[in-house]
Structure 1
Amino acid sequence: MRKFLSIVLIALSVKSIQAQAGSTQSGEPKFQPNEIAQFAKQVERYSAAKRAHVFVIARVGQPQKTLPKGVEFTHVALAVYSQITMENGEQKPGYAIHNLYQLHDDPAKSSLVIDYPTDFFWAVDELKAGIAIPTLAVQKQLLDAINKDVPSKVHNPRYSLIANPFNNKRQNCTEHTLNVINAAIYNTTDMAQLKANTKAYFDPQPLSISPFKLLLGSVFRDEIYKKDHKGKVKIATFTTIKDYLAKHNLLEHSAVITPKMLSNIQNSKEI
């Protein structure tokens, strides 16, 4: 019985692995709706001021202390400056967020969903956003790719929280975002070519979780799938994508946006 209870406790601790994704669409808000809407609007304004037509955006869906070492954000997507149709039919400029979301009723699968900044930040654990704005040339390539429906062409609906970015056996939101970026840069949706290029140029994040917990998680939950990895588990994260763009001179600007950071900017303008 003691051994059984130990296994159950370890299995429950595997939930900390799930925290790195935070890629579900639904959830209960932890902040007041007006706080969330205000923060979302501030992120939009900051990005627009940097002349971002399309950029990588990230959020925090779980407490930072539960995240594996090296993982700062839990969900990554692409924000695209668009003409958004309001409920009254009026069109206004703003950012549409192109996401890969884990299905709530079938967590081993995902779908592609477009939502908007307030939706994106609705169930965050912290009002904090990561943004990585590519160079204008890469932004143009990304817009062209999105207009050609490339995101759906490089989408694998078989979901794993710890998907290996070097193969296409499973996929999570961050790997999908990396796929779209590389498809735009290399002008191809050939998955074998994309994965060869990723392996050649992209540095993933080693996942600091005990191998036993990973194995146990993959046994108990299909969305924690380890069989696509050989050796140490390594994943794509917001930070590794940002560093990848910077390493190859494809990054124009990056920032971690918080209410405090925005307040400091405002205060410095007032001095």
Structure 2
Amino acid sequence: DFAKQVERYAAEHQAHAFIIGRVGRPQKELPKGIHFTHTALAVYSAITLDDGSTEYGYAIHNLYQRADDPGRSDIIVDYPVDFFWGAQTLKAGIVIPTPAVQERLIALISEQKHLGLHNPRYSVVANPFNSERQNCTEFTLDMLQAAMYQTEDKKRIKANNAAYFKPQRVHISPLKLAVGSMVTDGVTTSDHKGRVRTATFTTIGHYLAQFNLSQHAVVLYANGRTQAI
């Protein structure tokens, strides 16, 4: 199946840790410039099964919005078969950092330092330049910054985001955003001043490429076709 295809592709490209993206909503509903709806960090790990035995595979470290409390989120580990279960389109974003960055990401996860980067106040269009709100992609970006700069200082991480990372402008009408803010706590622009910009899978890919911190970045389709990011 597609989840196994993604795992094989990552393994063939020596990915011990990589950024993974999926499409969880119909493509036509996505704002201009946004190609993936969920981003997370996949790490090759020893996985303990229900019967107590151990297998090796990719564990995916996600920030997930709560279904029953959309203004809050939790950190949840799942696996590719779960990750792609609700995908609207069978395509995966794959960004494989350089070996040095992968090593630091693995250390961050194994020491559980990434958990301290979580901000449970959720917004689907969170501003990556401050700590007021966070979404899945911003959490992934913050993990990257913490690993690369070897810091858990949130102020420093946000300063680095502001200095070096270029977010995606969100092209949604002010009325739609205002209605969204009233309808669900999962959509708010209270953490923005002026134009709404947020972290996306693609902008993380561009950021790593700009500073020569990625070794491979593609969109993988179910038919095996790949497209460079």
Match of residue 253, structure 1, among 207, 216, 219:
216
Give unpaired runs (5+ residues) of structure 1: 1-37, 265-271
Match of 2:38 in 1: 75
Q: Which has the larger radius of gyration?
A: 1
DSSP 3-state at the match of 2:52 = coil
DSSP 3-state at the match of 2:33 = coil
Deviations 1:3-24 (A, max 9, x none): xxxxxxxxxxxxxxxxxxxxxx
Match of residue 164, structure 2, among 201, 204, 207:
201
- The percent identity for this pair of structures is 56
Deviations 1:110-132 (A, max 9, x none): 00000110000011111110010
Match of 1:140 in 2: 103
The aligned amino acid for 1:198 is N
Alignment pair present for 1:236 and 2:180 = no
DSSP 3-state at the match of 1:156 = coil
Alignment pair present for 1:172 and 2:107 = no
Cα distance in structure 2, aligned partners of 1:83 and 1:191: 29
Structure ranking higher in strand proportion = 2
The aligned amino acid for 1:178 is L
DSSP 3-state at the match of 2:216 = strand
1:216 is displaced (CA, Å) by 2.3
Give unpaired runs (5+ residues) of structure 2: none
Structure ranking higher in helix proportion = 1
The aligned amino acid for 2:56 is P
Alignment pair present for 1:43 and 2:18 = no
Cα distance in structure 1, aligned partners of 2:20 and 2:186: 23
The aligned amino acid for 1:78 is L
1:225 is displaced (CA, Å) by 1.1
- Using the size of structure 1 for normalisation, the TM-score is 0.81
1:201 is displaced (CA, Å) by 0.1
The aligned amino acid for 2:180 is G
Match of residue 217, structure 1, among 180, 185, 188:
180
Instruction: State the aligned residue count.
Output: 226
